[in-house]
Amino acid sequence: MEEKRKHPRAGLSFDVTVWKVSVEDEAGTQWDGESLDLSPGGVKVRFPGELAPGTMVTLIFSPPDGGPIITARASVVRKDQKGHSFAFARLSYGDYLRLQKMVKART
């Protein structure tokens, strides 16, 4: 089967906060989760919520490189038994390079 991913992924586990805000719920809904894998283009997260593909959220996490917290806008790409896969929609270039370096060191 041909690999369709644009970015390589590394199995990394760290805490992730998933935060969804909508017009109907200005306060938003927040879940605490755990990453399953990471790439510079997205992350897979296990958390107790249910989000449909296309849903936009804010992800807040500290990767295990000891650097500062990353806050990124992301959209749900798919959900399976293991968790939700998110594609980063808004991530600073510096954070992109940081994630790229971390993944490269682990693949």
**pLDDT tens-digit readout, 56-76:** 999 999 998 899 999 999 999
Residue 14 CB neighbours (<10 A): 15
Q: Which pTM was predicted?
A: 0.88
pLDDT band at residue 2 under the 50/70/90 scheme: very low
Query: pLDDT tens digits, residue range 10-59?
Result: 788 999 999 998 767 677 899 999 999 999 999 999 999 999 999 999 99
The rounded distance, in Å, linking the Cα atoms of 98 and 2 is 27
The answer to whether residue 3 scores a pLDDT higher than 60 is: no
